[in-house]
Amino acid sequence: MATYVLLHGAYQGGWIWQPVATRLRAAGHTVYAPTLDGCGERAHLLRPGITVGTSAGGMVLCKAAELARERLARLVFVDALALLPGEQVGSIVQRAAPRETTALATGPTKADAEQRLFADLPPALRTWALARYTLHPRAALEAPMELDTFWEQSWPATVICCTRSVNPPEAHQRRTAERLHAAWHALETGHYPMLSAPEALTGLLVA
């Protein structure tokens, strides 16, 4: 059996992985789905200096991999950002308006999240997700990516692209796959396959 660490993206917490985590655990795997400081139920820990953000979780994945190479068997980017050193999220992702912004956090308004981000989810699941939606630390979305050796190393990797999602663009995800010589899979779903297609996503993770 394997151990999975599932990293969430912007405006989320570990909660977004529940449908997939449940399936993995039922199959006997060990699963961790941490919530990053400043996000989800840890939103109260928002502070200056949180500069690493599926989805923005790809940034965390790259940095964590760089720091813990010997502990990782495979990297899986699920519709995720994988920035080069010095790149910023804004150079890859076109953010839609309207947005809600504070001194330390930013994100789409809840109305926009309901009508756009979670639009392809069934009503009950959309309501459940919206109740947990939070703004994301601004610095993680605005600061240049800090990596030293990640892209110089060879990694067993998989890229899973969600074809109904606009961000991150397919071209960006193709770049990730090409640079890492990663396996490529496409899922015909929106940006949150852990909610909209948990069975299919779980199948790809255990393959």
pLDDT at position 94, please? Answer: 79
pLDDT at position 98, please? Answer: 79
pLDDT at position 55, please? Answer: 57
Mean pLDDT by 10 residues, the chain (207 residues): 95 97 98 94 86 72 93 96 93 83 94 92 96 94 92 97 95 98 97 97 96
CB atoms < 10 A from the CB of 144, how many?
14
Q: Kindly list the domain boundaries of the chain, sorted by start residue.
A: 3-206
pLDDT at position 97, please? Answer: 72
pLDDT at position 207, please? Answer: 87
Write a three-state SS string for 173-193. HHHHHHHHCCEEEEECCCCCH
- Tokens in use for 72? 């990782």
Domain 3-206: give its CATH architecture: 3-Layer(aba) Sandwich (3.40)
One-letter amino acid of 23: R
**Residue 55 CB contacts under 8 Å (≥ 6 apart), including other chains:** 8, 9, 10, 12, 79, 80, 81, 167, 168, 191
